[in-house]
A and B are shown apart, each in its own frame.
Chain A
Amino acid sequence: MSTDRVAFVNLPLRIRDYEDELVDAFRKVLRSGAYIMGPEVAEFENALKGYCGVDHVLGVANGTDGLIIALRALNIGAGDEVITAPNSFIASAGAIQMTGAEVRFADVGPDYNLDPAKLEAAITERTKAIMPVHLTGRPAPMDEINEIAKRHGLYVIEDAAQAIGAKYKGRPVGSLGDIASFSLHPLKNLQVFGDAGFLSTPCKHLYERMSGLRNHGLVDRNTSSEWGLNSRLDTIQAALGLVQLKRLDAWTEGFRSVAAQYREGLKDVVSVPEELNHEYSVYHNFVVLADRRDELMQYLDNKGIDTKIHYPILLHRQPAAKHLKLPEGSFPVAEDQVQRMVSLPIYPELEDSEIKRVIAEIRNFYSA
């Protein structure tokens, strides 16, 4: 690093050592002229199947579109309700609303994920699906969620935007519901160089329907079976994604290693995320609950350490959610967490000295 600051993210640093490989992949697509649905798209989709533990993967334009396409493929729209977590990124609720359905929230647990104990109270006769978010890259309690979904005849859509590589009871996220949507946004653990995403499903029928929906509903060159979207993963991004994917396992180890150091170094001063025996988290964010959070963030900023809050305004308190009329107090656990949460810098390229500095400064703050 050229400066002393511990940056929150640093993608240019990540790709520095293999820039040539990326550029070669880029050039190869440019020479081919196959910029839309070129062979690299299917190649990338195939390569991702192992990470999702399913037979069907489908590249799309971004993770939000992935959720919208998943909902549409399940015939969810006007008049329906979908339950998700109130502490997610806006896209989780946005995708539901954009299909014409109404978002419903249920409170979360200490793992920041949907709390199964709170889920049933949110189910109405209009509920069609549950959309657990594997927030921060930690898998949601899927056995309990799936059990409730099954009992009420609901679909389960995993919002796995932050969670590629995460596992639950040995099974990868992406294989734990009817459909899962992943993001490849530049700031994700596995990223490309613009907007992109993909869907995974164990169901061939849903895969075929979603293949149509992402590409004008085309079932052959001149026939559209249903009116769809244009939401294709660019060939160039797929080719770059293939280069990135080779490094994902090493990166995941890197994220987990930083997390382990933070956990060990901070467990007695802030509330650090647990990792239960059956969980394998990928730490897209490392979120701790801290007393005097705002002061701490200011202190760290003064010490040259970037931190963020994911996310400071809960979805039900957004201006966009006014019509839902959900007052403060609707989701006490999420509302308590949001007052205290802070995300620490986490990426594989963080140096041990930087990790130690973050830990030391947080400890300094609380010992002062």
Chain B
Amino acid sequence: MANQNFLPDQYDRTDALEINHNYLPEQFADYEEILAKVGEVVRKGDFTLGRAVDQFERDFAEVVGVKHAIGVGSGTDALFLSLKALGIGEGDEVITTPFTFYATIGAIVTAGARPVFVDVLDDFNINPDNIEAAITPKTKAILPVHWSGKPCRMDDILAIANKHGLKVVEDSCHGIQAKYKGKGAGSFGDFGAFSMHPLKNLNVWGDGGLAVTNSDEMAEKMRLMRNHGLIDRNRCAMFAYNSRLDTIQAVVASHLLQKIDHITESRIVNSLYFDSQLAGVSGITIPERDTDEVKQVFHIYSLRYERRDELQAYLEERGVDAKVHYPIPMHLQPGAAEWGYKPGDFPVAEACCATTMSLPVHEFVNRDQQDKVIELIKEFYR
């Protein structure tokens, strides 16, 4: 597909390759059942915050284990609306990780605040031990990212937040069905943000997302903020945004929510198989899995590889769609220049960016394909 809009690499479907990251044509090979339900929405004219949205929100809240889920336009919107709902804005600081997708930082900046970065651990997640040193009088919130679907050390993060009176917004865009000590990722903080971008584990046919919370008050505020602050057809309690999950996308999401156990399980099985076969290969570092404490859902399956760029090219030439999520940390992006960070500030994140590579582990990857990938990687390092 012509990619004139500079979407991340992940989106390009490379039909010449045999093992792809993009599985949408397989996933939606049979879309007629969903399309029929979409047709009902259209014929009723129930496009905006329709019944399917309500139903999906209730079902999604149950999956995460929270009181409220509120459908919004995207995961990015879920993040910045959460920050705004918590009163975070101009002049405030939000502590987060430099090893993330642009949206995490875009959401903080859109809210009017500025991100303050803290380095990550070898598992790509923010290092709780370094958070306190980054707190200033301006700090209002911690925004941990459950990178790749592995939950952060939420006990430690919540303890710090409580001690310093900070809000917590979880970027759980990768983390549907992930668990930390038995509780759903996204359910720990004041808000959790989820994405249903087409390539997320739970996906729709366009942009969509959810904010979740256990607070009745915050849920009500979020519902206002996503819909112009309207308390009824004509009265506006607060000036706000338009960021609604489309009814037709809620129909798609509801359909896939029935399959989420299978989707998640496939990713875990495929990932752990790669782990087992690649363990011990010289040149590869597998992050700590902490399987006692966490359920990691592998939205992205990333290891760290020596001679990463060479390996990626080697695999691509042989039909394997290996990707890099992502090569440049946020503190070294042009947009971060005004904050004065420099190379070397966050050595672990920088090392991760230089060495990380992702292999497809979605439910349409089969064991033969995995064995082929494993053989190629072993061959490369021989």
Given contacts A194-B249, A216-B102, A218-B7, contact A237 B206 (CB under 8 A): yes
Q: Flag whether A319 is at the interface (Cβ < 8 A).
A: yes
User: B110–A227 contact, CB under 8 A?
Assistant: yes
Which of these, A42, A65, A217, A311, contacts B234 with CB under 8 Å? A311
* Binary interface encoding of chain A residues 30-70 relative to chain B, with 1 for a CB under 8 A from any of its CBs, else 0: 11111111110110000000000000000001111100100
Residues of B within 8 A of A103 (CB): 239
Give the interface segment out of A89-97, A170-178, A280-288, A357-365. Answer: A89-97
* Main DSSP-derived SS at the B contact region: loop
Residues of B within 8 A of A226 (CB): 334-335
User: A221–B207 contact, CB under 8 A?
Assistant: no
Which of these, B22, B90, B229, B328, contacts A320 with CB under 8 Å? B229
User: A64–B207 contact, CB under 8 A?
Assistant: no
Q: Flag whether B103 is at the interface (Cβ < 8 A).
A: yes
Which of these, A11, A36, A78, A100, contacts B45 with CB under 8 Å? A11
User: B90–A61 contact, CB under 8 A?
Assistant: no
Closest A-B pairs by Cβ, 10 of them: A234-B206, A194-B246, A33-B24, A230-B76, A64-B242, A227-B109, A97-B239, A216-B102, A35-B198, A94-B239
Given contacts A27-B35, A33-B25, A320-B239, contact A222 B327 (CB under 8 A): yes
Other A-B pairs, 18, CB within 8 Å; known A11-B45, A31-B25, A94-B239: A12-B43, A26-B38, A61-B242, A90-B236, A90-B239, A98-B240, A193-B47, A215-B7, A216-B103, A222-B328, A224-B334, A224-B335, A230-B75, A318-B235, A319-B235, A319-B238, A320-B236, A320-B239
Q: Flag whether A15 is at the interface (Cβ < 8 A).
A: yes
Interface members, chain B 228-246 (any A CB < 8 Å): 228-231, 234-244, 246
Residues of A within 8 A of B229 (CB): 90, 94, 320
A65 to B207, CA, bound (A): 14
* Binary interface encoding of chain B residues 1-19 relative to chain A, with 1 for a CB under 8 A from any of its CBs, else 0: 1111111110101000000
Q: Flag whether A264 is at the interface (Cβ < 8 A).
A: no
Binding site for B on A (CB under 8 A): 9-12, 15, 23, 26-27, 29-39, 41-42, 61-65, 68, 78, 90-91, 93-94, 97-98, 100, 103, 185-186, 193-195, 211, 215-232, 234-237, 309, 311-313, 315, 318-321
User: A222–B8 contact, CB under 8 A?
Assistant: yes
Given contacts A194-B249, A227-B102, contact A219 B6 (CB under 8 A): yes
Q: Flag whether B87 is at the interface (Cβ < 8 A).
A: no
User: A222–B326 contact, CB under 8 A?
Assistant: yes
Residues of B within 8 A of A216 (CB): 76, 101-103, 106
User: A236–B335 contact, CB under 8 A?
Assistant: no
User: A98–B239 contact, CB under 8 A?
Assistant: yes
Minimum C-beta distance from B89 to chain A (A): 8
User: B42–A62 contact, CB under 8 A?
Assistant: no
Which partner residue on chain A sits nearest B4 by CB separation? A42
A318 to B234, CA, bound (A): 9
A227 to B105, CA, bound (A): 7
Minimum C-beta distance from A122 to chain B (A): 18
Which partner residue on chain B sits nearest A67 by CB separation? B242
* Binary interface encoding of chain B residues 90-123 relative to chain A, with 1 for a CB under 8 A from any of its CBs, else 0: 1000000000011101101110100000000000
Residues of B within 8 A of A228 (CB): 102, 106, 110
A-B contacts, 29 of them at CB < 8 A, read A31-B25, A33-B24, A33-B28, A35-B24, A37-B5, A61-B73, A62-B243, A64-B241, A65-B73, A65-B242, A90-B230, A91-B228, A185-B48, A186-B47, A193-B246, A194-B47, A194-B247, A194-B248, A195-B48, A221-B6, A221-B8, A225-B335, A226-B335, A227-B106, A227-B110, A228-B106, A234-B205, A309-B234, A319-B236
User: B5–A211 contact, CB under 8 A?
Assistant: yes
Minimum C-beta distance from B10 to chain A (A): 9
A13 to B173, CA, bound (A): 38
A234 to B203, CA, bound (A): 13
User: A236–B239 contact, CB under 8 A?
Assistant: no
A366 to B77, CA, bound (A): 50
User: B7–A221 contact, CB under 8 A?
Assistant: yes
Residues of B within 8 A of A61 (CB): 73-74, 207, 242-243
Minimum C-beta distance from A359 to chain B (A): 26
Minimum C-beta distance from B296 to chain A (A): 25
A223 to B6, CA, bound (A): 9
Which of these, B48, B110, B197, contacts A36 with CB under 8 Å? B197
User: B8–A186 contact, CB under 8 A?
Assistant: no
User: B228–A94 contact, CB under 8 A?
Assistant: yes
A31 to B109, CA, bound (A): 36
User: A78–B333 contact, CB under 8 A?
Assistant: no
Minimum C-beta distance from A204 to chain B (A): 15
Which of these, B105, B109, B234, B333, contacts A223 with CB under 8 Å? B333
A231 to B77, CA, bound (A): 9
Q: Flag whether B163 is at the interface (Cβ < 8 A).
A: no
Which partner residue on chain A sits nearest B5 by CB separation? A37
User: A34–B1 contact, CB under 8 A?
Assistant: yes
A213 to B31, CA, bound (A): 32
Which partner residue on chain A sits nearest B6 by CB separation? A218
User: A312–B244 contact, CB under 8 A?
Assistant: no
Residues of B within 8 A of A35 (CB): 24, 198, 204-206
A35 to B75, CA, bound (A): 16
Which partner residue on chain B sits nearest A197 by CB separation? B242
Minimum C-beta distance from A276 to chain B (A): 30
Which partner residue on chain A sits nearest B91 by CB separation? A78
Minimum C-beta distance from B277 to chain A (A): 29
